[in-house]
C-alpha cells in the first residue's frame, strides 16, 4: 500500500505528532523543523521527546520528513541571508536525524534579480557549504520544485536537475510538489503521466517525496496556491492518475492542502485513498 500522509504540527512535541498521524489515517507525515517564518527563537531540540517519537514511528510503521523554514534562500545574493540560510539548513539536518526522519525539504531559492543561472550557481555554493558542515549520515536534503513566481529558480525540470546534478543522490534528492508543477506548466491538465520527469532516470532516482496538492491557480499561473484534493483546477481525475502511477508507488505522498485544523486531514487522506486502485 502506498504511503499517504500530511503535514502535522509538533508544537506539543514530536512524539505527539507521531501518535496523531495514524489517528488521521496517515502512514507518513511532514513537520516543520523549526519556526517556518523565522531563523531565530527556535525551541531547543528535545532529544528525549525525539527518541520517544522515533521508537513510536518504528512501532507504528511511519516515516517522516522535515520541512525547512520558508525564510531560507539558498540562491540569495545577500551575504548575510546566504550565511543564515546555510547555517539554518545544517541545523535542520541535525534536528531531522534526531527525530529519525529521512529528509529535509527546502525550497529552491530566489535570485532577487540576478538571473536564473546565477541563482542555480548560488544554490550549488550553498548546498556545497551545507554538506561540508553536515554531521549527519542518514538525512537527505530534498530540493522542492517551485511554481515560478517572482525570481524563483527550480520551476522547470532542467533547472531542478541542474541544481541537484553536482551532488550525490544519497545526499541531495528531490521533493516534487504537484501544485507547484501544475502552476509552473510542468504537469499538463489531463496528462500528468506525460511529465518528462517521470520518464527521466536522474529525476526518478532522486525523487523521495511528493507533496500532493490540488491548485487554486489555473494551469501555468505561476503562483503557489494549494487547494483541497479534487476541489481545485487540477481536479480528482488528474490527482488520481498521479496516485496510481506505478512509477510512484514507493514514494510517500504528503498532503499540504489548506485545512483549518489538521484533524481535517483525515477526510483529505480518505479522499486520496478513495482515488487509489
Cell digits of residue 78: 545577500
Residue pair 257/213 in contact (Cβ under 8 Å)? The answer is yes
Segment among 35-39, 142-146, 188-192 with least mean pLDDT:
35-39
Whole-number pLDDT of residue 38: 67
Cell digits of residue 162: 541542474
Task: Please write the tens of the pLDDT for every residue from 75-127.
Answer: 999 999 999 999 999 999 999 999 999 999 999 999 999 999 999 999 999 99
How far apart, in Å, do the first and last CA atoms of the chain sit? 10
Task: Please write the tens of the pLDDT for every residue from 7-22.
Answer: 999 999 999 999 999 9
Whole-number pLDDT of residue 43: 74
Three state DSSP letters for the chain: CCCEEEECCCCCCHHHHHHHHHHCCCCEEEEECCCCCCCCCCCCCCHHHHHHHHHHHHHHCCEEEEECCCCCCCCCCCHHHHHHHHHHHHHHHHHHHHCCCCEEEEECCECCCCCHHHHHHHHHHHHHHHHHHCCCCCCEEEEECCCCCCCECCCCHHHHHHHHCCCCCCCEEEEEEHHHHHHCCCCECCEHHHCHHHHCHHHHHHEEEEEECEECCCCCCCCCCEECCCCCCCHHHHHHHHHCCHHHCCCCEEECCCCCCHHHHHHHHHHHHHHCC
> Within 13 Å, how many C-alpha atoms sit on residue 98's CB side?
16
Whole-number pLDDT of residue 42: 65
Whole-number pLDDT of residue 250: 97
> What is the rounded CA–CA span in Å between residue 204 and residue 187?
16
Residues ≥6 apart with Cβ < 8 Å to 158? none
- Look at the domain 4-275 and name its fold: TIM Barrel (3.20.20)
113 or 41, higher pLDDT:
113
Angle (CA) 218-248-171 rounded to 5° is 100
Enumerate the β-bridge partners of residue 29.
6, 64
Average pLDDT over residues 38-52: 83
Gyration radius of the chain's alpha carbons? 18
**Residue 131: φ, ψ to 5°:** -65, -30
Whole-number pLDDT of residue 149: 94
Query: What confidence tier does 137 reach under pLDDT thresholds 50, 70, 90?
Result: very high
Whole-number pLDDT of residue 241: 97
Whole-number pLDDT of residue 200: 97
Query: What confidence tier does 36 reach under pLDDT thresholds 50, 70, 90?
Result: low
Average pLDDT over residues 194-208: 97
Residue 41 in this model has a pLDDT that exceeds 90: no
Whole-number pLDDT of residue 35: 74
Residue 266 in this model has a pLDDT that exceeds 80: yes
Residues marked active site are found at 37, 67, 70, 107, 144, 177, 180, 211, 224, 226, 256
Whole-number pLDDT of residue 183: 98
Whole-number pLDDT of residue 161: 98
Residue pair 210/195 in contact (Cβ under 8 Å)? The answer is no
> What is the rounded CA–CA span in Å between residue 117 and residue 120?
5
Whole-number pLDDT of residue 44: 84
Q: What's the gap between Cα 105 and its chain centre?
A: 4
Cell digits of residue 80: 548575510
- Picking from 60, 55, 89, 59, the residue whose alpha carbon sits closest to that of residue 75 is 89
Domain definitions of the chain by residue range: 4-275
Residue pair 5/21 in contact (Cβ under 8 Å)? The answer is yes
Enumerate the β-bridge partners of residue 141.
104, 172
Amino acid at each position: 500500500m502506498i504511503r499517504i500522509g500530511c503535514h502535522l504540527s509538533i508544537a506539543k512535541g514530536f512524539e505527539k505528532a507521531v501518535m496523531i498521524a495514524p489517528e488521521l489515517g496517515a502512514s507518513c507525515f511532514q513537520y516543520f523543523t523549526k519556526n517556518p517564518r523565522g531563523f531565530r527563537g527556535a525551541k531547543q531540540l528535545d532529544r528525549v521527546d525525539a527518541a520517544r517519537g522515533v521508537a513510536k514511528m518504528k512501532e507504528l510503521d511511519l516515516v517522516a520528513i522535515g520541512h525547512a523554514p520558508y525564510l531560507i534562500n539558498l540562491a540569495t545574493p545577500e551575504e548575510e541571508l546566504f550565511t543564515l540560510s546555510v547555517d539554518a539548513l545544517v541545523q535542520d539536518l541535525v534536528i531531522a536525524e534526531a527525530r529519525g526522519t529521512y529528509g529535509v525539504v527546502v525550497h529552491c531559492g530566489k535570485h532577487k534579480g540576478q538571473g536564473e543561472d546565477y541563482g542555480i550557481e548560488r544554490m550549488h555554493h550553498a548546498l556545497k557549504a551545507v554538506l561540508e558542515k553536515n554531521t549527519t549520515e542518514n538525512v537527505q536534503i530534498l530540493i522542492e520544485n517551485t511554481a515560478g513566481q517572482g525570481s524563483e529558480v527550480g520551476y522547470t525540470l532542467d533547472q531542478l536537475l541542474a541544481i541537484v546534478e553536482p551532488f550525490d543522490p544519497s545526499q541531495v534528492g528531490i521533493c516534487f510538489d504537484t501544485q507547484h508543477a501544475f502552476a509552473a506548466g510542468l504537469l499538463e491538465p489531463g496528462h500528468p503521466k506525460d511529465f518528462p520527469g517521470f520518464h527521466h532516470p536522474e529525476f526518478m532516482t532522486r525523487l523521495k517525496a511528493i507533496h500532493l496538492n490540488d491548485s487554486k491557480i489555473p494551469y501555468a499561473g505561476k503562483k503557489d496556491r494549494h487547494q483541497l484534493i479534487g476541489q481545485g483546477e487540477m481536479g480528482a481525475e488528474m490527482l488520481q492518475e498521479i496516485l496510481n502511477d506505478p512509477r510512484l508507488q514507493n514514494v510517500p505522498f504528503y498532503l499540504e492542502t489548506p485545512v483549518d485544523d489538521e484533524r481535517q486531514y483525515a477526510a483529505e487522506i480518505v479522499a486520496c485513498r478513495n482515488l487509489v486502485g
